[in-house]
Amino acid sequence: MAFLLKFVQHPGRVLTKLSPAFLQPWFSIKNDLVTMKKLLPVATFLFLLFTGCHQPASKQMTAAKRDTSITATNAYSDLFLDSSAVDRFIATKGINDSAANHLRIFYAGRNYQYAWFFGDGIADYAATFLDLQNDYMAYSGDSSLYNFRLQLLYDSVAASKEHFNRTDSIIPEMELLFTEQFFRYARRAYQGINQLNVKELDWFIPRKKINPAAMLDSLIKYKGKDVTQYEPVNRQYNLLKNFLLKYYSIEKSGEWETIPHLKKAFRRGDSSAIIVPIKKNLLLTGDLSQADSSALFDNLLEQAVKNFQHRFGLTEDGVIGPSFLKELTVSPAARIRQLLINMERIRWVPAEPGTAYLLVNIPEFRLHVYEKGRYLFGMNVVVGQTAHQTVIFNGTLKYVVFSPYWNIPQSIIKNEILPALSRNKNYLETHNMERYGNGIRQKPGPDNALGLVKFLFPNNYNIYLHDTPAKSLFGESKRAFSHGCIRLSEAKKLAEFLLRNDADWNAATITRAMKSGRERYVTLRNPVPVFIGYFTAWVDWEGQLNFRNDIYGHDKQLAGHLFNIADQ
């Protein structure tokens, strides 16, 4: 009863929270007419709910500039709407202000010519759009977009295409339904679920904004061809979608083996019955190149294990041990949820800068350097501990600081420095520190906690990139050790990249500045965007799907919104 009450009150919200496994039967409608017939009564119920749950439109109308240069002689379509039909549609449907404004502006800009119909029938790209929408619903598990009325009318018109009646009263209704539905689809599929407050999810990178009308104009202009060329989506999105479909296939096949956790490790040359299901699962994931039903741990399996370890950020030793088995025993259903969570995040990502930029992926413990869309290099990083989480945000890197002082945060002074001073009055001198005003700072030098160089992108979180004398930590597979700032394994390499176009700097002068013992600020001539992101699934530049652990619990938090998973 509780579920039904929530469903009646908020049908779209409840359905988007259901698991992909629960929702999957809904989305065979594209290829399975039998399933469509079975779902018709339920779909009718959903339609009545959805059409009754729109926010009422405001009485305040937004003026839209009408393009009167478009006439019957030069229009794309020879069918035109009465402008009052748009307002009647908005009022009847109870469309909210924002969506209503988009509709008015779109049609006024076309002088109310039809977008989806011509004099001889419905445009071919209407089917393209419905395919896009059905594909999205199928792989995302999001049924809230389904519009029974539109599908019913489309099927009716498509079935009687040879007897198309341009004066039929359902034609203007279909026209406006298609446009409203396209705008709903574009926002959801390419911008993400608007009901999610990303700041509450600890995501402080501004969400991407899209222009649904511009995308619809492109669909019309290119007649539904080459949609991927103008989809407003990060390239990672479609790469992940392809692997999502693969995992759906693995789950549906029922071939995934359940493997027990064992304390014993297996190496090349060992034989065990457990090797057989391990090989089977590695074949399904694509790590093992050919089927093998033997119980022998051979060379081919060792390479498959190393590849799997590489994709999961594990030590690449080719040994089947606890960490390897922990990842391999995660079910396809859980990986599907992980992929959907990260695809939702990727919908929020703003457009890729056309210049150079830096991306730190917290769960991966890596920094990546890009220039004009091309991947240049990456390096290991150390990020904040769970108790001192590195914030997800973006900024602009403006300064390189050589031989920096470390101005120690008050929290560290209170919790660490002062207790150490109470035990050892020479603590500051021993650690090359000094009192500075009301605070304490560490002087420049090889033992400085910030190393020999730091990189500043002013922000409210007091987070920056910096070198470190503690190089051994970069050899760890899990590198969450800092107080929130990001330590770099190759700080000099980043400095050389950032100053590559400055004639005053080269490898030698950078080295001297790093070792000078005198703090020096250098302002970048071309500031560089920096993104501190959080992705536990992505496709790397070799085309391989990577997974990482949810070190801060952000996946779990987002899953609670997407799939209605209660906190454990």
Active-site positions read 466, 485
DSSP string, 94-159: T--HHHHHHHHHHHHHTTTB-SSEETTEE-THHHHHHHHHHHHHHHH---TT--HHHHHHHHHHHH
Contact indicator for 433, 439 with CB cutoff of 8 Å: no
CA–CA dist 492, 507 (Å, integer): 8
| Nearest in space to 281 (alpha carbons), one of 314, 258, 262 | 258
* Residue 73 to residue 495: CA distance in whole angstroms: 61
In the numeric block, which tokens belong to residue 366?
A: 């890596």
In sequence order, what are the beta bridge partners of 539? 545
Give the helix/strand (H/E) hosting 434.
strand 433-436
Residue 533: phi and psi, rounded to 5, are: -110, 175
Helix (H) or strand (E) holding 324, with range, is helix 322-328
Give the pairing of strands 480-482 and 374-384: parallel
Three-state DSSP class for 88? helix
Query: In whole angstroms, what is the distance from residue 302 CA to residue 298 CA?
Result: 6
Contact 439, 481 (CB under 8 A): no
SS3 call for 68:
coil
Residues 257 and 490: their CA atoms lie apart, in Å, by 41
Q: How far apart are CA 258 and CA 328, in angstroms?
A: 9
Strands 545-547 and 433-436 come out as unpaired
Token code pair at residue 101: 């404004």
Which two structure tokens, joined as six digits, stand for 480?
């969450």
